[in-house]
């Protein structure tokens, strides 16, 4: 039986979502074996993953990776709760649900927090940040979501980093939906802490996230955490001192699948090649959807290649849930909208998805437009 046939049996539909996303049979197959969390062979896999993640993030020395159990939000909370001291103050640049979540976490943890909200249809504003930092010397940390999957917005990573560096602030980036699918150099972009997840652009499965930072930055946060299980410093220290060992039970099957996903990324040609594929996926999607009368929510210059929002058709017979189920029956799952000010839905273009898959999806959409029937 061919791999393509196996994938079809395992996956009755393709996930056109921003994660969890469709993975290869090769990645899923790695989860068939059990591993011991104390075993040196397993811990060597963890160490290899940590080194590979650092190499994806920068070619500069002095950086390290920490893996953290749970969804990507667990890693965001571990970072926010472990990096900012009691005397610190955080400014969060917000233009969607995931930026708001960072602020929610900080507020829940009792961290002094200021929000600069650009609205959901505009990129975050570097000049607004500069003005706030100039006026408020108490701010110590800046946080932002790189790709805001509420809409598919791509925020200005470099411009915000330059301002954070100019004012000597710690720069925290939620790169959940972009790392591994876009070229990001932490050193060049002045990112102090970068957060992402196994089940996004590296195309692993859900179960853990990771945080990238300098060794010096990690050493500086000892004793700051407001949590036991989400103590970023203690997790890092354990992995450093015990050669890849996690403090508590690790998601062994997920870790092994992620190691294979990293091999796939390298085999595809690295992040540059994957960024090109995702970009072609997204361009093919937009061209096809516009031909069918669907209009993107965002202007092209604001749009990422990760996920795209489209306005719902203004037709009395159109219903998103019906449209969703019809497409699901044809082998494709899409996302409902999450924008508070617009009636829309979202389509992801990452994962084990190729331009030929997008062509098939466009055909499925065209034959699913029941509201245009006479």
Query: Which tens digit of pLDDT belongs to each residue from 327-336?
Result: 999 999 999 8
Q: What pLDDT, in 10s, does the model give residues 245-281?
A: 999 999 999 999 999 999 999 999 999 999 999 999 9
In this structure, is residue 258 part of a structural domain? yes
- Same domain assignment for residues 290 and 329: yes
161 neighbors 171 (Cβ within 8 angstroms): yes
Average pLDDT, the chain: 95
Domain end marker among 247, 266, 285: 266
pLDDT of residue 148: 96
Confidence of residue 342 (pLDDT cuts 50, 70, 90): confident
Average pLDDT over residues 92-103: 97
Q: Which of 231, 266, 301 is the last residue of a domain?
A: 266
Residues 11 and 110 in one domain: no
Q: Is the dihedral of CA 143, 148, 153, 158 positive or negative?
A: positive
- Supply the CATH number for residue 83's domain: 3.40.640.10
pLDDT at 372 over 90: no
Number of domains in the chain: 2
Same domain, 34 and 19: no
pLDDT over 90 for what percent of the chain? 92
356 located within any domain: yes
Same-domain pairing of 19 and 83: no
Which residue's entry shows tokens 């898959």?
357
At 184-201, the pLDDT tens digits run: 999 999 999 999 999 999
> Does residue 224 sit within a domain?
yes
Band (pLDDT 50/70/90 cuts) for residue 1 is very low
Tell me, what CATH number does 323's domain have? 3.90.1150.10
Query: Is there a domain that residue 212 lies in?
Result: yes
> Can you tell me the distance from the alpha carbon of 269 to that of 69, in angstroms, rounded to the nearest whole number?
28
Q: In this structure, are 306 and 231 located in the same domain?
A: no
Question: What angle (nearest 5°) sits at the alpha carbon of residue 142, between those of residues 197 and 92?
Answer: 80
Same domain? For 363 and 325 the reply is yes
- Residues present in the chain in total: 374
pLDDT at 358 over 80: yes
Q: Is the pLDDT of residue 76 over 60?
A: yes
Residue 39: inside a domain:
yes
**Domain closes at, from 266, 293, 326:** 266
Q: What is the pLDDT of residue 7?
A: 52
Residues 258 and 295 in one domain: no
Q: Is the link from the previous residue into 363 a cis peptide, with omega within 30 of 0?
A: no
46 and 177 co-located in one domain: yes
Answer yes or no: is 374 within a domain: no
Mean pLDDT (whole number) for 238-244:
97
Confidence class of residue 26 from pLDDT cuts 50, 70 and 90? very high
* Contact assessment for residue 103 and residue 115, using Cβ atoms and an 8 Å cutoff: yes
194 and 328 fall within a common domain? no
| pLDDT > 60? residue 5 | no
What is the predicted pLDDT for the residue at 374? 54
Burial 342-360 (b: 16+ CB within 10 A, else e): bebbbbbbbbbbeeebbee
Least Cα distance to 204 among 29, 54, 336 occurs for 29
Q: 126 and 59, same structural domain? A: yes
The mean per-residue pLDDT over the stretch 161-174 comes to 98
pLDDT at residue 2 above 80?
A: no
pLDDT at 9: 53
Q: Please check whether residues 43 and 134 belong to one and the same domain.
A: yes
Sign of CA pseudo-dihedral 148, 151, 157, 163: negative
282 and 225 belong to one structural domain: no
Residue ranges making up the domain that contains 185 = 27-266
């Amino acid at each position: 039986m061919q791999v393509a046939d196996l994938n079809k049996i395992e996956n009755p539909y393709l996930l056109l979502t921003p994660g969890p996303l469709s993975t290869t049979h090769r990645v899923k197959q790695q989860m068939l074996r059990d591993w011991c969390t104390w075993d040196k062979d397993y811990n060597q896999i963890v160490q290899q993953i940590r080194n590979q993640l650092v190499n994806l993030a920068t070619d500069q020395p002095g950086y390290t990776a920490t893996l953290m159990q749970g969804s990507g939000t667990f890693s965001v909370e571990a970072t926010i709760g472990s990096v900012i001291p009691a005397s610190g103050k955080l400014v969060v640049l917000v233009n969607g649900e995931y930026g708001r979540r960072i602020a929610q976490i900080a507020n829940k943890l009792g961290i002094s927090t200021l929000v600069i909200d650009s609205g959901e249809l505009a990129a975050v504003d570097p000049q607004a940040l500069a003005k706030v930092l100039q006026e408020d010397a108490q701010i110590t940390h800046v946080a932002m979501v790189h790709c805001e999957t509420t809409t598919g917005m791509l925020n200005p990573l470099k411009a915000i980093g330059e301002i954070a560096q100019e004012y000597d602030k710690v720069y925290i980036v939620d790169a959940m939906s972009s790392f591994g699918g876009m070229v990001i150099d932490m050193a060049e972009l002045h990112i102090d802490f970068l957060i992402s997840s196994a089940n996004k652009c590296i195309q692993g499965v859900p179960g853990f996230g990771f945080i990238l930072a300098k060794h010096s930055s990690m050493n500086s946060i000892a004793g700051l955490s407001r949590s036991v299980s989400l103590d970023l410093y203690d997790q890092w220290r354990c992995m450093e001192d015990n050669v890849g060992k996690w403090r508590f039970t690790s998601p062994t099957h997920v870790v092994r699948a992620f190691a294979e996903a990293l091999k796939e990324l390298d085999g595809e040609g690295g992040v540059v090649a994957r960024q090109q594929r995702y970009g072609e996926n997204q361009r093919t999607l937009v061209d096809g959807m516009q031909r069918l009368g669907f209009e993107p929510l965002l202007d092209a210059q604001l749009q990422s290649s990760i996920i795209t929002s489209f306005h719902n058709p203004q037709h009395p017979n159109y219903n998103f849930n019906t449209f969703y189920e019809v497409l699901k029956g044809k082998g494709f799952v899409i996302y409902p909208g999450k924008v508070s000010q617009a009636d829309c839905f979202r389509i992801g273009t990452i994962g084990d998805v190729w331009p030929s898959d997008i062509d098939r999806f466009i055909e499925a959409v065209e034959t699913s437009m029941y509201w245009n029937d006479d």
